[in-house]
Structure 1
Amino acid sequence: MANDDRSAGEVVIAVLTYRRPGDISLALPRLAAQATTLAAGDRPPATVLVIDNDPAASAQAAVQDIAGTLGPGLVRYAHEPRPGIAAARNRALADAGTAALLAFIDDDEVPSEHWLAQLVELQQRTGAAAVVGPVISEYEHEPEPWIQAGRFFRRRRLATGTPLTVAATNNLLLDLDQVRALGLSFDERFGLSGGSDTLFTRQLVQRGGSMLWCDEAVVVDRVPASRLTRGWVLRRALRSGNSAARVNLELAAAAAPRLAAARASSLAAGSLRLLGGAARLGAGLLTGSTAHQAMGLRTAARGLGMASAAFGYVYSEYRRK
């Protein structure tokens, strides 16, 4: 169970942003409302921390203008000029200071009414090192049938309290005392490729921390038209496979025999996915099945990402010009 002394500590909502002034302007009032609602009940005080990952600090003026309308001390701004989302996540860990809990949410997500309160309640009731909530996609326009058939935006839903071994930071609450005790931070080698949250949460569980699902703490991901293309969803599948395999290799890197086995496993698993996906694509072309075509290509792209990681290839989805 959670420590009663700690339960009174501050909660920080961390929202990372990079050159999306419209999104952060929409997000801040919603997140400030979450913080205010939490503090109004018999719960810890909460604040919002914006991490601007643009070297030009492009969000600063907008954040400070909005913060001035939301009440003193409710919103803080921090500039992290080092490129990569892992650096921004680490800045959030550092700037949370002595807070008890840190909640990560994306700047293009909309939290449900009691999102933060539900994450905090489950953490305080169980003493979990991390609590994870679901992400539901809403689209700027309806995806084409091929993307729908491929289930590219389908995410998991689980019963509240289900233990997890891996999670993303798009809806994640961390107990900072436990994070510090476990010696965790985000690996900045994954900053431009993605996957630092996968590695972080897997290490959290491997080092003895518990991570639980909270199905009521929903956030809605607003998917722009630029991501509703076949090229984008297939590149994301490739990147997901590549970063997942790289995380496996990193976790095995402490011992040379384990690393060699991990490389062989990534190559074998990736090759099987690549071949299986190609076979499913072929079956879809023969039968006219859109689902088999889309899911076959999705499987093949993920397999290619996994197999290429075994040879040291890094797909940097977030690389900057």
Structure 2
Amino acid sequence: MNRLTIAIPTFRRPQDLKRAVSGVLEQAGALVGGVGAEAREPEGDAAGAADVDGGAGRGVSDVEVLVIDNDAQGTGHEAALAAAADAGVPVRSSAEGSEEPGGVGLRYVIEERPGVAAVRNRALDETGGRDLLVFIDDDEEPEPGWLAALVGLWASTGCQAVAGPVIPAYEVEPEAWVRQGEFFVRRTWPTGTVRPVAASNCLLLDLGFVRRAGLRFDEAFGATGGEDTLFTRRLSAAGGVIRWCDEARVRDHVPASRLTRPWILRRQRSHAATSVRVELALAGGGAQPAIRAKAAAGGLVRIVVGGLRTAGGTLIGSPQHAAKGARLLARGRGILAASVGGGVHREYDH
């Protein structure tokens, strides 16, 4: 039987945090005692490095919700403990967990080093004796069956990571430009699809494989994001298999402040720039000049095409064409800037 930790990074969003913790705790109790799926041998290059039980015993005996607060003042402490009290779940002071089957608990720690990568590495450090790690963000809320679906696919396939869809839940109705530009719509795939990369806001990791591969989140990406893209790309390169689980859904609560055109386009630029930084981090030094040249050319093409589509959409009164053109233009600017070392927005800088 396995021990599972669900890590929730947080920074000064106590109301969102309480909602996230409450939703996770509600599902944790139902999971403990077995996932109801037939265990299979691990996939990929990990097949030869399975644990001593050869992949058997893939049920879950203990679930710990680990809140990692990136605010040194501990602004999430009260919200986390209130959610645990409402759920009747004990608060733990260490990572040992329950000695009896059926254990569910909550633990709260502060990570003073700023940046999301430092927080995710703290999650890895706090789970040294555990088997599975799931990440969910503090502004998200799991849909029914989320946790069982993640663990069930891991148990039935023997993969090393499972990712699921993140569905936007808007605080206010977005304008047509935002909706038709599909800025918050993420791609999905059929359950079981192997993916080369995944985001970490709905992600399960097999910690045995992560430790054997020596994987960590790159803290150079701590203030900008992109640390999850680099981490999962490296996981795949090390022989790990990432599978998509379309039933493991979480809702991403999007506040009104993130529905403005300046915020959206700034994020598009930054995400595009970060994608270039990831490619540079993965490449050897000799390959970086070619990557920069390709990024510069690709960025320029996107700027031209995006600008034309934006102008055309505005001229004919099409919010969809105007928004998608603006999106392409913003991404082109980010890619071009990153080709010469700039372009990123320090979204997680504090």
Shorter-chain TM band: over 0.9
TM-score by length of 1: 0.93
Per-residue Cα deviation, 1:122-148 (whole angstroms, up to 9, x for no partner)? 001111111000111111111101111
Aligned with 2:32: secondary structure? helix
Alignment CA distance shift 1:107-1:319 (3 Å)? closer
Between the aligned partners of 1:213 and 1:319, the Cα distance in structure 2 is 27
Equivalence map 1:234-313=2 (5 Å): 234-252=265-283, 254-256=284-286, 258-313=287-342
Equivalence map 1:76-225=2 (5 Å): 76-225=107-256
Aligned with 2:5: secondary structure? strand
Between the aligned partners of 2:63 and 2:209, the Cα distance in structure 1 is 19
* Residue 23 in structure 1 maps to residue 16 in structure 2: yes
Q: List alignment gaps of at least 5 residues for structure 1.
A: 1-7
* Residue 61 in structure 1 maps to residue 72 in structure 2: no
- 1:49 aligns with 66
Per-residue Cα deviation, 1:228-277 (whole angstroms, up to 9, x for no partner)? 1111111111111011111011111x232x11111111111111111110
CA shift for structure 1 position 121: 0.8
Per-residue Cα deviation, 1:170-227 (whole angstroms, up to 9, x for no partner)? 1000000111111111000000011000111111111211100000111111111111
- Cα contact 1:194–1:316 (8 A) shared by 2: no
Aligned with 2:239: secondary structure? coil
Where does structure 1 differ by over 4 angstroms across 4 or more consecutive aligned residues? none
Between the aligned partners of 2:342 and 2:298, the Cα distance in structure 1 is 16
User: Which deviates the most, 79-88 or 42-51?
Assistant: 42-51
CA shift for structure 1 position 41: 4.6
> Percent identity among equivalent residues?
47
Aligned with 2:107: secondary structure? strand
User: Which deviates the most, 24-33 or 137-146?
Assistant: 24-33
Aligned with 1:82: secondary structure? coil
Aligned with 1:193: secondary structure? coil
Per-residue Cα deviation, 1:18-61 (whole angstroms, up to 9, x for no partner)? 00011112222211112111115553021100000112222123
Between the aligned partners of 2:83 and 2:170, the Cα distance in structure 1 is 26
TM-score by length of 2: 0.86
- Cα contact 1:57–1:81 (8 A) shared by 2: no
Aligned with 2:223: secondary structure? coil
**Count of matched residue positions in the alignment of Structure 1 and Structure 2:** 312
In the alignment, residue 63 of structure 2 is paired with which amino acid?
A
RMSD of aligned C-alpha atoms? 1.4
Aligned with 1:125: secondary structure? helix
Between the aligned partners of 1:319 and 1:75, the Cα distance in structure 2 is 25
- 2:49 aligns with none
- 1:4 aligns with none
In the alignment, residue 317 of structure 2 is paired with which amino acid?
G
User: Which deviates the most, 79-88 or 277-286?
Assistant: 277-286
In the alignment, residue 29 of structure 1 is paired with which amino acid?
S
In the alignment, residue 63 of structure 1 is paired with which amino acid?
A
